[in-house]
Amino acid sequence: MAGLGCPAHAQQQPKTKPNVLFIAVDDLRTELGCYGDRHIKSPNIDRLARQGMTFNRAYCQQAVCSPSRTSLLTGARPDSTKVWDLETHFRPALPNIATLPQHFKNNGYFVQGMGKIYHGGFDDPPSWSTPWQSARAATYANPLPLAAAQKAAPSGGKKSRRKNGPAYEAADVADNFYTDGRTAEMATAALRELSRKSEPFFLAVGFLKPHLPFVSPKRYWDLYDPARIELASNPYPPKDAPEYALTTSGELRNYVGMPAEGPIPNDLARTLKHGYYASISYTDAQIGKLLDELDRLDLRKNTIVILWGDHGWKLGEHGQWCKHSNVENDTNAPLLLSAPAMKHAGTRTDALVEFVDIYPTLADLAGLSLPEHLEGNSFKPVVENPKRKWKRAAFSQYPRPRLMGYSMRTVRYRFTAWLDRADPSRVDAVELYDHQADPQENVNIAKQPAHAQLVKGLLAQLRQGWRGVRTELASSAAR
């Protein structure tokens, strides 16, 4: 069995290499039982947390699906992949790069992917040993609201803001009526096949929920009492933040029944949160099926299991919904890791880690070499010692017209500088939030004279960026 401290020569034997179960969850925020939110029914994710390590401060590189997933899977940041939107593939910018699954394939693993791993319709055939698979299912059990929305859409080529159906649904159907239930069935079947292979496996499984629309079987809705669902305590934008720091929740407003503008009424907001929570519990149940099958096949003792949400999500915080910004609600995302012979199972760490670090960490844990192109750092030392002093900062970014917002999360602060994309030396605005005094990021203190020197120092640190952090880590390791 491969342990974290096994010698390199032992890991060259195929049967001693750990398998990898790589679980992606779309739009999952850190509101889970294992993160201290006991009102959420997530028993299977919580079970994985008890068997592994929970990262309290894990940050994506850009809080929207494709850029985040691309950075994680390539080990390169958005400015290197040139993926800042949902339409661009990374191969034109990085034609010869070995992705995370491809690197495992190149090192003797059988690599299989299914569900949402890369964004939407994108795939990357070089990543897989066998063609990527996608389960197909109806979006809604009740097609009538969708049909009504489509019928009401304006004609004559005008784009409709009602192109999607309802934002939520609770239907009395089986788990496998929807896509995620079928993906779980496909994945458990794959585990059975993979367990019979002589080579180690890397199985990537992507679940869609709790991404909009919030549809799930009714029994998951029944887990929650709507009267006990609390609304966001800060339904307003941060004071003194630039107007463009947030968006107008356009992704949600594209669904029938959602206001085209203005605040979401409280009753509707509570129903939306109910749907989001139910979707979490639905996907949690599908994750449980994978973990159960691992145990049944006696694979757990030699399998690395990693679960991540591609970014956070706002549920009314700052008066907004969805992602698409640099705020803590959007950039902080769930990350759980269980590895063979893990010494600190069931622990949580406050170490700052980034999703771009996942590629080198998994390769490191499996005893594989690290490609030179990687722009993250293996946090294997944190897995071995969750209290270890680690990165001073994690970096995210989000574009706006003509600007790029570069955001840096330190142990205490979130600092964001909005730079002119044509002339990055020009700073259009800055944001500074003190998480010790203001963990919800409700007041931008960057313009307050008392913080002038702090802003100057953080801006210099931000401009030095991840390369400065890497230098610091290398220096620390050498001592």
Q: Into how many domains does the chain fold? A: 1
Strands (E), 181-257: 201-207, 214-217, 255-256
Q: Output phi, psi for 169, to 5 deg.
A: -160, 135
Has residue 301 been placed in a domain? yes
| CATH code, domain with 159 | 3.40.720.10
- The pLDDT score that the predictor gives to residue 227 is 96
- Within 297-336, where are the H helices? 328-331
Task: Give pLDDT tens digits for 41-91.
Answer: 999 999 999 999 999 999 999 999 999 999 999 999 999 999 999 999 999
Has residue 459 been placed in a domain? no
Task: Give pLDDT tens digits for 161-184.
Answer: 446 899 999 999 999 999 999 999
Question: What does DSSP say about strands 303-309 and 335-338: parallel, antiparallel, or unpaired?
Answer: antiparallel
Residue 260, domain extent: 16-388
Has residue 290 been placed in a domain? yes
Categorize the per-residue pLDDT at 9 as very low, low, confident or very high, splitting at 50, 70 and 90.
Answer: very low
How much is the pTM? 0.94
| Residue from 204, 26, 19, 207 nearest 128 by CA | 204
Ramachandran region of residue 467, left (φ > 0), alpha (ψ -120 to 50) or beta? alpha
Categorize the per-residue pLDDT at 150 as very low, low, confident or very high, splitting at 50, 70 and 90.
Answer: low
- The pLDDT score that the predictor gives to residue 472 is 85
What number of residues does the chain have? 479
Portion of the chain with pLDDT greater than 70, in percent: 92
* 28 has a pLDDT exceeding 90: yes
- The pLDDT score that the predictor gives to residue 5 is 37
- Within 297-412, where are the H helices? 328-331, 358-365, 380-384
Categorize the per-residue pLDDT at 155 as very low, low, confident or very high, splitting at 50, 70 and 90.
Answer: very low
Residues with catalytic function? 65, 119
Has residue 458 been placed in a domain? no
Has residue 477 been placed in a domain? no
- The pLDDT score that the predictor gives to residue 120 is 74
Has residue 20 been placed in a domain? yes
Task: Give pLDDT tens digits for 179-207.
Answer: 999 999 999 999 999 999 999 999 999 99
Has residue 184 been placed in a domain? yes
Task: Give pLDDT tens digits for 364-404.
Answer: 999 999 999 999 999 999 999 999 989 999 999 999 999 99
- The pLDDT score that the predictor gives to residue 477 is 77
With H, G, I as helix, E, B as strand and everything else as coil, classify residue 320. coil
* 422 has a pLDDT exceeding 80: yes
* 153 has a pLDDT exceeding 60: no
CA 301/CA 298 separation, integer angstroms = 7
Residues 6+ apart with CB under 8 A from 299: 19, 191, 195
Helices 65-74 and 358-365 meet at what angle, rounded to 10?
30
Has residue 433 been placed in a domain? no
The H or E element that residue 169 is part of is strand 168-171
